Amino acid sequence: MSKFRDALASGKFTFTGEIGPPKGTNVGPVIEEAVHYLKDCCAAVNVTDIQTAVMRMSSLAACRMLVEHGVEPVLQMVTRDRNRLALQSDLLGAAALGIENVLALTGDHTTMGDHKEAKPVYDLDSVGLLQAMRKLESGTDLGRTMKGEPNALDGTPRFFKGCVVTPCAEEVEPQIIKLEKKVAAGAEFVQTQAVYDPKAFEKFMKSIQHIKVPVLVGIVLLKNAGMAKYMNANVPGVVVPKDIVKRLADADKKEVKKVSVQIAGELIRDMKGMCQGAHIMPLGWDKEIPNVIAASGA
Partner 1 sequence: MIVADRKPLEEILKHVAGCGRILVLGCGGCVTVCASGGDRQAEHLAAQLRLAAKGQGRAVEVTVKTPTRQCDREFLEPLRADIGPADAVISLACGVGVQLLAEVFEAKPVYPALNTTFMGAHTGPGTWTENCRGCGQCVLAETAGVCPVARCAKSLVNGACGGTNKGKCEVSKEIDCAWYLIYKRLKARGDLSFLRAEREPLDWGKSSSGIRRTLVHPELTDTVPASAPAAPKS
Site residues, partner 1 (CB under 8 A): 80, 84, 106, 108-109, 111-112, 120, 122-128, 131, 142, 164-166, 169-171, 173-175, 177-178, 180-181, 184-185, 193, 236-237
Q: C-beta of 231: minimal distance to partner 1 in Å? A: 12
Distance (Å, whole) CA 287 – CA 289: 6
Of 156, 154, 151, residue with least CA distance to 138: 156
Using left for φ > 0, alpha for ψ between -120 and 50, and beta otherwise, residue 122 falls in left
Smaller CB distance to partner 1: residue 131 or 291?
131
Q: C-beta of 185: minimal distance to partner 1 in Å? A: 6
Indicate the SS3 state at residue 149.
coil
Smaller CB distance to partner 1: residue 164 or 256?
164
Distance (Å, whole) CA 243 – CA 155: 54
Q: C-beta of 274: minimal distance to partner 1 in Å? A: 20
Please write down the HEC assignment for all residues of 260-271.
Answer: HHHHHHHHHHHH
Strand partners, 161: 102
Q: C-beta of 182: minimal distance to partner 1 in Å? A: 8
Distance (Å, whole) CA 258 – CA 243: 16
The neighbour count for residue 29, using CB atoms within 10 Å, is: 10
- Give backbone dihedrals phi and psi of 232, rounded to 5 degrees, phi first: -60, -35
Smaller CB distance to partner 1: residue 87 or 259?
87
Of 269, 218, 266, residue with least CA distance to 239: 218
Smaller CB distance to partner 1: residue 48 or 131?
131
Smaller CB distance to partner 1: residue 81 or 100?
81
Indicate the SS3 state at residue 275.
coil
Distance (Å, whole) CA 140 – CA 134: 9
Q: C-beta of 4: minimal distance to partner 1 in Å? A: 22
Q: C-beta of 181: minimal distance to partner 1 in Å? A: 5
Smaller CB distance to partner 1: residue 91 or 293?
91
